[in-house]
Structure 1
Amino acid sequence: MTEELINSIRQLTGLTESEIMEFISISKARDFQAKSYFIREGQIPNELGFVLTGLFRYVYISDEGKELTKVFMPEQSFISSYSSMISKKPSHFFIEAIEDSKVLTISYDCWEKLRKQNPKWNLLLVKLLEKGYSVKEKREREFLLLDAESRYRIFLNEFPKLESRVKQHMVASYLGITPIALSRIRKKMLA
């Protein structure tokens, strides 16, 4: 697990193994059971995490109780409500464990100290923000320009093993459709 983290960070930043081990030494591993939360809506987060094993999703809950899945975060993903953390304002979404998961967490204060001591860590932050922005921009484009079946085909193409790990209602909420509509699309594609 640690080796995957080291390789992920090294590929993004060029940091040495010893520099990455410093990050790991000030982090702690935490276990999350399925249906538990890394961050809850309304909470002011104070840590970020790296998913070692398991799967999470960012999910909004509407006033009517409808779930709206923003993104799925499998192994080797960094998770955080970063804008809430830096602004010290409550998160607008939950980060929910879909499976039993293990996350390496670091407090925001330790993260800031690490970045001040070694500016190479800023490159990791920039890379993560760039990736997040690119995902957000792509999702917006898909929602504005594509129909539900096209969005589902993209989902299957980009995340070929994910559908077997999540419930149908979660996939539907990610696509912005009802589970019934998703079922119809699946039947049509099989015909």
Structure 2
Amino acid sequence: MSGKSDLEELLVKVTGLKEAEVTALFGISKPLSLAKGERFIEAGQIPRYMGFVVKGLFRYVYLDDEGNEFTKNFLAENSFITSYSAMVQQQPSWFSIEALEDSEVLKFDFLSWKKISQNNPQWDRFLLQMLEKAFIIKEKRERELLLLDAESRYRIFREEFPGLDKRVKQHIIASYLGIKPASLSRIRKHAALT
């Protein structure tokens, strides 16, 4: 994992927090390495921690009763990962957070974070920023799935995640787009011809 001072600097830049808050976050954090395929959070588990992706790539994935996967989102370096609503409500998560590559995360306990964040408006601004970003992504994604055709969704995927189609298996991309892998193959062939 990167040197602590480099990571602290990065967190100050990414979060907008002051150095004192980032130092406090490091005080309740532990580095965690996950191999490709391992889960940061497992569906059905009550999450108790959040993570900051230092290196690697993750996806939020739902699994239905027949074993079909539905990828909700991809998160790479400099992203926070958690099942936030499940954690806040202390209920089992509906989705898993899976490492798509060997990854490194700074993991911190939610209850410890709540303690250090009490009575500090910096943390409120940080949380609001995180939640706003997540809500914007969720709202945009819902609109795309409801209103756009598969080709348009694939074009947007390639714009938002440049190069990711080379790092991720095609069936995972298809599950993100809400289509079957065979449909994705046709769309990719059509896109290559145009």
Band of TM-score, shorter chain: over 0.9
Q: Compute the displacement of 1:31 (Å).
A: 0.6
Which residue in 1 is equivalent to 2:101?
99
Deviations 1:18-53 (A, max 9, x none): 331221122110010110100111000100000000
Q: Among the aligned pairs, what percent are the same residue?
A: 52
Deviations 1:137-188 (A, max 9, x none): 0001111111000000000011112111110000000000011000000111
Deviations 1:83-114 (A, max 9, x none): 11111100000000111111001101111011
Distance in 1 of aligned mates of 2:14 and 2:170: 34
RMSD: 1.4
Task: Check whether the contact 1:4–1:76 (CA below 8 A) recurs between aligned residues.
Answer: no
Matches for 1:33-182 after TM superposition, within 5 Å: 33-182=35-184
Which residue in 2 is equivalent to 1:21?
23
Unaligned runs of 5+ in 2: none
Distance in 2 of aligned mates of 1:70 and 1:24: 29
Distance in 1 of aligned mates of 2:136 and 2:115: 27
Q: Compute the displacement of 1:17 (Å).
A: 2.0
Q: Compute the displacement of 1:117 (Å).
A: 5.0
Q: Which moved more, 1:17-26 or 1:156-165?
A: 17-26
Distance in 2 of aligned mates of 1:10 and 1:164: 28
Distance in 1 of aligned mates of 2:14 and 2:186: 41
Q: Compute the displacement of 1:189 (Å).
A: 1.0
What TM-score does the superposition give when structure 1 sets the normalisation length? 0.94
Unaligned runs of 5+ in 1: none
What TM-score does the superposition give when structure 2 sets the normalisation length? 0.93
Task: Check whether the contact 1:5–1:76 (CA below 8 A) recurs between aligned residues.
Answer: no
Q: Compute the displacement of 1:64 (Å).
A: 0.9
Which residue in 2 is equivalent to 1:7?
10
Task: Check whether the contact 2:11–2:22 (CA below 8 A) recurs between aligned residues.
Answer: no
Q: Compute the displacement of 1:119 (Å).
A: 2.7
Distance in 1 of aligned mates of 2:189 and 2:11: 38
Taking a change above 3 Å as real, the CA distance of residues 76 and 5 of structure 1, as seen in their structure-2 partners, is: farther
Distance in 1 of aligned mates of 2:172 and 2:133: 22
